[in-house]
Amino acid sequence: MISLHRSCFLNNSGISGSSSLFSYKLNKLPPASVKATALGPNSDTNASVLIENNNAFKEITQDDTSFAADVDINLTVAGGDREVYYDDAATEDQLVTPWSVSVASGYSLLRDPHHNKGLAFTEKERDAHYLRGLLPPTVISQDLQVKKMMYSIRKYKVPLQKYMAMMDLQETNERLFYKLLIDNVEELLPVVYTPTVGEACQKYGSIFRRPQGLFISLKEKGKIDEVLRNWPQKDIQVIVVTDGERILGLGDLGCQGMGIPIGKLSLYTALGGVCPSACLPVTIDVGTNNEQLLNDEFYIGLRRRRATGLEYAELMDEFMTAVKQNYGEKVLIQFEDFANHNAFDLLAKYGTTHLVFNDDIQGTASVVLAGLVAALKVVGGTLADHRFLFLGAGEAGTGIAELIALEISKQTNMPLEEARKKISLVDSKGLIVKSRIDSLQHFKKPWAHDHEPIKKLVDAVNGTKPTVLIGTSGVGRTFTKEVVEAMAALNDRPIIFSLSNPTSQSECTAEEAYTWSKGRAIFASGSPFDPVEYEGRVFVPGQANNASIFPGFGLGLIMSGAIRVHDDMLLAASEALAAQVTQENFDKGLIYPPFKNIRQISANIAANVAAKAYELGLATRQPRPKDLVKYAESCMYNPAYRSYR
C-alpha cells in the first residue's frame, strides 16, 4: 500500500523552500527510492507513484488527484534517517496541497484534522476541493474562529468540560487548536495541562472518545516494531512515553495515564514549535495496581496487576530497540511519570545508548534551578551561599538536588560531594542521615549526611537552618503554618517552592505562604495560583512549570541533531530561562517570566541547548547555524492556515 501525505522537512543545510516535498508511508515495505508525480483534476494525465525496490519497479496509478508536482526523494523507512520536524517546507505565500491517503477533498477533507479549516475555506478552495454544499455559505478568518472558540470555552464552568472541548478541537481542526492555545496560552495552559489533565487521566475511561497516540501493552510483546509501523506518521522526532504508574501526585492510573503524553506533546508544539506530525504519544500498559480502576467497567487498560522484573524490562527493551530501528538515533524519548524504582533505572540504562530525557527528574530540576538563579537577584548571594531543604526524596527531589549541586560545583570548582552537603532531604521517615544509609534506596544515598535523626519537618527546618525550602512530596498541606513561620524566622526573604501537582497536592497555597511569612516569602508553585493581596500589596506567585523548559529544551536537541543528553545542557537551559526574567517581573514578585512570551523564551532556551550540544561535540547537524536564536525561530511550527490549490 502506498499513501501520500503532507509532512515537515528540514534538510542538513536548513529549511527547504520547495513546496513539493512529501512523506511517503510505505506500510510493510522495505527501504525504497521513490519518485512521485501528481497532477490536477483537470489534467489528462493520471498521478503516478514509481517505487524502485531491489531493482524491481512497480507503478501505482491514481486518478483525479489535485495538482502537479514532481518529487525525487531517498527514503529509508526502517532507519528513520530523514530529519523532519518543520511543518511546512513551503514558504507562507506558496500554495500547498492537503495530502492524505489520497489528495483530500470534499467530505474527507472536512474530517481530516491536519488540513480541515472549517468555515475558513475560501470560495476558490471550496470549488477546487468539492466542498460546495458541505459548508454554510459564509467564509470567516482563522482569527474569528479563535474568537468564537474562546467564547464557547469560557461558557464552560467545569475545567474538565473545557479540556474535553479542547481535545475535540484537536481531533477536528489541528491548526485552529494550536492557534487557540498559542494566542491564549496563559488561560488555556491549565486546561490542557496541569491541573486539569490530572482529573482527565482519572476519568479517562469514561471520557474516552477517539484514540490518540499509541497504546503498547503486554499483548503486543514481540510485535512492538509492527505496532510502531501502524502509526501513520513516519518522521517522528519526539516521543513522550509513560507507563502510568505515578501520574502527577495521583498515583497509579495505568493505561489512563495517556493524557500526560498527549498534553506534553501539545505543549511541545504550542510552546516549543515542534511540528505536531513529528510528535508521538505512547503509553506502555503493563497493568495497574489500582483496585478502583481494575473494578471500573469503563477502564480501558489491561485488567491485571502490574508486571515487574524481567517481564517489564523485556517489554521496555523491545520498545526502546524498536524506536531506534524505526525512527533513528536522533529521536528524543521523554520518560514521563514513571515510578521512582523504574525512572532512575531507565534513565541510567538508556542514557548512554539513546537520546533520552526524564522530565520528572531532569526537567523539573532545570526549571527549579532557573527559579533559584533568578531569586538570587532578589535575595543576593550565590547558590553556594544558600542552604537547601527538600520535603520529598523521589525522582523530582533528588533530581533537583543533584542539578543544584552540579551548578554549585561548576560555579565554585567545589567537589560535587562537598556541594551536596549544602542540601538536605526529608522523606517519609524523616531527615536522610548517615545512620539510615543501609536502608536507603540507591538514589537517596548521596544525600545521607552526618546529622542526628529528625522526624518532623519543622524540626528539620530548625535543625538545618535552610534559606530555601522545596516541596516535591506529592502530599498536600505539608508546609504548615508552623513550618512557614520557622522559615520566616530564619530568613528575611525565605524562598519557598511548593511544587507538587495537581493543586490539591501542593504543599501550601500561595496565600498561605505570603500570609504566614508576613509578605516576605519568595514563592513558586507547580500548579498555578491566583495573585494574592496582603496588607495592601499584590503578590503574583511564580509557577515552576516544566512547560517553561522542556519544549525549548527538546527543540534545541532536535535542531542541533543531538544524539545524547548531557547535564550541561540542562544547566544551559536553566541559565537561559533565568535570563528571561525582567526587572518588571521582579517588581511584581515573579521569578519566572510569564507564559505570554513562551515561544520567544523557548527559542532562547533552544539556542542555549543547541550551543552546548555543539560545544560538547554531541551535535550532528552541520554546519552550525550562525544565529541559533533566529534558526530556532525559523524552525518553529506556525499554525496559521495554508492556502490550498
Q: Yes or no: say if 619 and 583 are a contact pair by the CB < 8 Å rule.
A: no
CA dist., res. 46 & res. 65, Å (int): 8
- How many beta carbons lie within 10 A of that of residue 44, not counting itself? 5
- Between CA 321 and CA 227 the distance in angstroms is 13
- Rounded Cα distance between 420 and 623, Å, is 39
Question: Which grid cell sits at 157?
Answer: 464552568
Contact 645, 122 (CB under 8 A): no
Q: Is 80 exposed, middle or buried (0-12, 13-18, 19+ CB in 10 A)?
A: buried
Which residues belong to the active site?
193, 264
**Ligand-binding site membership of 587 (annotated):** no
Among 299, 315, 297, residue whose Cα is nearest residue 307: 315
Query: Grid coordinates representing 349?
Result: 540504562
> Sheet of 32-38: strands edge to edge?
56-62, 47-53, 32-38, 69-75
Start-end of H helices in 86-141: 106-110, 123-128
| CA 380 to each of CA 373, 383, 494, 495: distance values in angstroms, whole numbers, following the listed order | 10, 9, 12, 12
Amino acid at 421: K
Rg, Å, the chain Cα set: 25
Residue 337, marked binder:
yes
360 is in an annotated binding site: yes
C-alpha–C-alpha distance, residues 297 and 26, integer Å = 38
Is 336 known as a binding-site position? Answer: yes
Where are the extended beta strands (E) located within 345-462?
A: 355-358, 388-391, 423-427, 430-431
Q: Percent helix, strand and coil across the chain, each rounded to 5?
A: 45, 15, 40
Q: What is the distance between the alpha carbons of residues 281 and 278, in angstroms, rounded to a whole number?
A: 10
Distance CA 407, CA 469 (A): 18
C-alpha dihedral sign at 568, 574, 575, 576: positive
Rounded distance, CA 64 to CA 103, Å? 9
For the range 162-167, what are the long-range contacts, defined as Cβ-Cβ under 8 Å and sequence gap of 24 or more? 162/191, 162/196, 163/191, 163/192, 163/196, 163/197, 163/199, 163/200, 164/200, 164/207, 166/191, 166/192, 167/209, 167/212, 167/262
How far apart CA 64 and CA 52 sit, in angstroms, is 24
Q: Are 278 and 236 in contact (CB under 8 A)?
A: yes
CA distance 317 to 292: 29
Cβ neighbours of 136 (radius 10 Å): 9
What is the three-state SS of 482-497? HHHHHHHHHCCCCEEE
**Does the bond joining 639 to the residue before it have cis omega, within 30 degrees of 0?**
no
**CA-closest candidate to residue 216, choices 343, 342, 317:** 317
Annotated binding site for (S)-malate: 246, 501, 545
Annotated binding site: 246, 336-337, 360, 501, 545
Annotated binding site for a divalent metal cation: 336-337, 360
